[in-house]
Structure 1
Amino acid sequence: MRWIENVERFVFGAECLGCRAPSGALDPWLCPECVKELERESTVELSPGPDTYSLYPMRPLTRRLVHALKYRGISGMATYLVKHSASVRCGLVREELSMFPKPLYFVPVPLHRARYRERGYNQAEKIAAALSLALDGKVCRWLKRRTFVVSQTKLSKEERERNVAFAFECVLKNPPTSGTVIVVDDVFTTGATTSACLAAFGRDFALPIKVCTLLYDEPASAVADFVADNQMEWEVE
């Protein structure tokens, strides 16, 4: 009942963004158990495609946290997720990026002005800033969004590609002669958005270009395998 929930919040404190249970030990958004779960998820090494890296798989917990970043105005969640990523601290992302030519230029996927006014910030910029701080790089706003596109959430792969085709342009006039560009976004699903960003740089762009996202939304078959594996482990125990 609602009144019981209100009493619990008064006694135990705010609600965990992960399990949604009241807790007096948030850090400031997750309870200790959800922190442990997040750190476990961050140890999964994810490379959804060539030269593409993600910090976490799409799971109920990570989905809620990115939802809070995008739709609940919790912009600090970008830094929180980057700091909790084992891949950034000592795993695949840090190892791979350490081998690329320096400096590292973190280029956020741009929001259309209308979306920016609605949200108040670009979540990809927040992620890029956190990554640049953790990996000693620079945030560079070298891409501009030409068109306002509908949300990609419920579109098929083909619809996503059509939705973002030619949506971006590169506004960099004098490209640097050394370094590596890392296009940054919140979620990698089909790769349509980041592919459109890479296309905006053009085939003759001199620097290597990589992609880094917070989440990888795995194909349904991979998620089903994950659920089956966990169910098997549970039954064995």
Structure 2
Amino acid sequence: MRWIENVGRFVFGAECLGCGKPSRNLDPWLCPECVAELERESTVELSPGPDTYSLFPMRPLTRKLVHALKYKGISGVATYLVKHSSSVRCGVVREELSLFPKPLYFVPVPLHRARYRERGYNQAEKIAAALAVVFGGKVCRWLRRRTFVVSQTKLSKEQRERNVAYAFERVLKEVPALGTVVVVDDVFTTGATTSACLAAFGRDFPLPLKVCTLLYDEPASAAADYAADNRIEWDV
């Protein structure tokens, strides 16, 4: 019953979004052990593609956090992950963004209005807002989704590309004279979605175009190497 659950939360603490264990030391979503794991994950160097930056690799912990951001209504996870990224604090993302022509225009990958009604917010926009606070600049809704596409989660690379081809259009009428556009999304897998967004700006778009995502879903070989490394560490 609900009252038993509430008493349990009061006595034992709320559940950690990472390990699922009750804790009275959440910060506010992770226990100290999961916070330490998240910090370790944030030091992984990621190279999803040219002019593309990701803050964390896709791991069980980071996957759960983005799942909470997208499907559990915990929008504050976007700011939480940005603040906990060592790449943002002192790594390659900070170094690269400091060199881009200013101002920075953070453009979130748009949601179709049906998905927006279902979710209540656009998670990419929450991430863009967190990045804009850290680096300066502003969030700009310069793209619009023209079609409602099915979820990319279980599609192959070719299916993903077909699924989002021509799904976006530029709604920016007057292009600024200076600055850099940073397209923002939650996860980079094959790059199909962000590539479609970049294509929507057009080949003759005069400003530099970059991509930044929270997570990079690495190829299977990289994930297998990571799992093997962890097994070796535990065996030792």
| 1: CA distance, partners of 2:197 / 2:123 | 16
Aligned match of 1:64: 64
1:143 aligns with 2:146: no
Residue 231 of structure 1, CA deviation: 1.3
Aligned match of 1:22: 22
| 2: CA distance, partners of 1:90 / 1:12 | 36
Aligned match of 2:228: 228
SS in 2 for 1:47: coil
Aligned match of 2:89: 89
| 2: CA distance, partners of 1:63 / 1:42 | 13
Q: Which amino acid aligns with 1:107?
A: V
Over residues 134-174 of structure 1, what are the superposed CA-to-partner deviations in whole Å (9 max), with x where a residue is unaligned?
01111111000000000000000000000000000001111
| 2: CA distance, partners of 1:20 / 1:161 | 35
SS in 2 for 1:199: helix
Q: Which amino acid aligns with 2:214?
A: L
Residue 6 of structure 1, CA deviation: 7.9
1:203 aligns with 2:224: no
Aligned match of 2:34: 34
TM-score by length of 2: 0.96
Over residues 168-222 of structure 1, what are the superposed CA-to-partner deviations in whole Å (9 max), with x where a residue is unaligned?
0001111011111000000000000000000000000000100000000001110
Residue 5 of structure 1, CA deviation: 8.3
TM-score by length of 1: 0.96
Residue 126 of structure 1, CA deviation: 0.2
Residue 230 of structure 1, CA deviation: 1.6
4+ residue runs over 3 A deviation:
4-10
Q: Which amino acid aligns with 1:54?
A: S
Residue 107 of structure 1, CA deviation: 0.3
Q: Mapping of 1:24-173 within 5 angstroms?
A: 24-173=24-173
Residue 235 of structure 1, CA deviation: 2.1
SS in 2 for 1:46: coil
Q: Which amino acid aligns with 1:96?
A: E
| 1: CA distance, partners of 2:74 / 2:8 | 23
Residue identity over aligned pairs, in percent, reads: 85
| 1: CA distance, partners of 2:108 / 2:74 | 18
| 1: CA distance, partners of 2:101 / 2:60 | 36
Q: Which amino acid aligns with 2:185?
A: D
Q: Which amino acid aligns with 2:157?
A: K
Q: Which amino acid aligns with 1:133?
A: V
